[in-house]
């Protein structure tokens, strides 16, 4: 098993010599596949232009804005292509964001993996007086910018703010309704395989147990910038493929789950000096992607998806399986779905019949 990596150094805007040397050794095939771990050098977005179509979601409390835009319209590619840009910093004024993205901001690629890429974006100097960038300019900070391109309709729906509804799903509902629906609708998880195969984000791995059956990698979540511990957020992704979610877990998977809990907590303690009693370790149901993964967040952080209708503490999952190997095949689970989600309609229709 690999040791936990040393703590990250202080972020610098100037290119680091070691980073530049590593960038020069990037694999050509990986670049062509849209995979990369990023450098401190300035880069451009993987598209030209950005015409705002819709604000999918915004939150002043979380200092985040989700935008749907059309790109590459000037290239003559019909009506252009869809892209999602996620900006995180101070509360944004929507009127100013379009101007920021239509300009020529300085970009530093952090990494790219399949259709996902993350940058540090520094606003042009002429915009530093705008209200949207006032705090950024005053503090000399950057705007974390995540790009999903090309974006499908499923991506747009994922980030769109909608009303939610609680629904109950029996074990039979999962087999007969949910699973068939998800198998036809799930988003690509190629980016997960890129991480496991070390084709992307290899330098971000905090800890790894390489066992192909009971091992996992521990990696910072994209929502955490690693600059402070208040919002610590890491993801443990299991090496074993074919375990989609909580519903697949049986007593056979207990060694894997115990490894994730024990070794993950130890790795976080060693790397970040955060003890186990200050961590929330849980699984989502329904998850956002269907390859088994476990969330590690700071206990005091109100992380997205940590509410009772979605989060299942890993320690309790282990205990449930120890008492009943078929617990998650049989148990009725309650979770929230968007009001216009087709799966919600299917489950509601099953209740009427």
- Residue list, annotated binding site for substrate: 191, 201, 221, 223, 284-295
Which helix (H) or strand (E) covers residue 281, if one does? strand 279-284
Distances (CA, A) of 337 to 105, 157, 285, 291: 37, 12, 11, 19
Non-local CB neighbours of 294 within 8 Å, separated by 6+ positions: 216, 235, 236, 260, 261, 264, 281, 282, 283, 314
In this structure, are residues 337 and 160 in contact, taking their beta carbons and an 8 Å threshold?
no
Q: Which residues are annotated as a binding site?
A: 191, 201, 221, 223, 284-295
Distances (CA, A) of 180 to 157, 244, 250, 333: 20, 13, 20, 17
Distance CA 36, CA 28 (A): 10
Max distance between CA atoms of the chain, in angstroms, equals: 66
Distance CA 217, CA 189 (A): 16
Catalytic: 293? yes
Non-local CB neighbours of 273 within 8 Å, separated by 6+ positions: none
- Other CB atoms within 10 Å distance of the CB of residue 181: 15
- Other CB atoms within 10 Å distance of the CB of residue 62: 14
Helices 254-272, 314-323: inter-axial angle, 10-degree rounding: 160
Q: At which residue do the structure tokens 């993987």 appear?
A: 46
Backbone phi, psi, residue 196, to 5°: -65, -35
In this structure, are residues 177 and 346 in contact, taking their beta carbons and an 8 Å threshold?
yes
Distance CA 309, CA 179 (A): 19
Q: What is the CA radius of gyration of the chain?
A: 21
Q: At which residue do the structure tokens 């705002």 appear?
A: 52
Exactly one of 253, 293, 312, 327 is catalytic; name it. Answer: 293
Non-local CB neighbours of 163 within 8 Å, separated by 6+ positions: 338, 339
Catalytic residues: 293
């Amino acid at each position: 098993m690999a040791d936990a990596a040393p703590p990250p150094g202080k972020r610098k805007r100037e290119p680091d010599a070691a980073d530049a040397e590593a960038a020069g050794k990037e694999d050509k095939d990986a670049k062509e596949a849209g995979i990369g771990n990023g450098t401190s050098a300035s880069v451009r977005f993987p598209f030209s232009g950005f015409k705002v179509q819709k604000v999918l979601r915004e939150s002043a409390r979380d200092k985040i804005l989700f935008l749907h835009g059309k790109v590459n319209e000037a290239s003559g590619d019909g009506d252009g292509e869809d892209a999602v840009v996620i900006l995180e910093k101070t509360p944004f004024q929507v009127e100013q964001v379009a101007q920021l993205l239509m300009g020529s901001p300085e970009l530093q690629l952090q990494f790219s993996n399949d259709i996902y890429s993350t940058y540090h974006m520094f606003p042009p100097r002429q915009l530093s007086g705008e209200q949207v960038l006032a705090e950024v300019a005053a503090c000399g900070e950057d705007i974390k910018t995540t790009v999903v391109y090309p974006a499908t309709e499923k991506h747009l729906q994922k980030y769109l703010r909608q009303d939610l509804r609680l629904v109950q799903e029996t074990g039979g509902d999962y087999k007969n309704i949910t699973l068939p629906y998800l198998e036809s609708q799930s988003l690509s998880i190629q980016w997960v395989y890129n991480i496991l195969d070390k084709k992307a984000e290899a330098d971000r791995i905090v800890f790894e147990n390489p066992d192909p059956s009971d091992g996992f990698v521990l990696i910072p979540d994209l929502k955490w910038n690693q600059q402070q511990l208040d919002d610590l957020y890491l993801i443990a992704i299991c090496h074993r493929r074919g375990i989609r979610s909580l519903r697949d877990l049986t007593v056979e998977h207990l060694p894997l789950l115990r490894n994730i809990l024990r070794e993950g907590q130890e790795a976080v303690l060693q790397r970040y000096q955060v003890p186990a009693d200050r961590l929330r370790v849980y699984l989502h149901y329904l998850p956002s992607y269907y390859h088994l993964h476990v969330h590690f967040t700071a206990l005091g952080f109100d992380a997205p998806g940590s509410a009772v209708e979605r989060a299942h503490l890993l320690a309790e999952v282990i205990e449930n399986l120890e008492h009943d190997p078929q617990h998650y095949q049989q148990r009725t689970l309650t979770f929230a779905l968007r009001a216009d989600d087709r799966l919600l309609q299917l489950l509601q229709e099953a209740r009427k019949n």
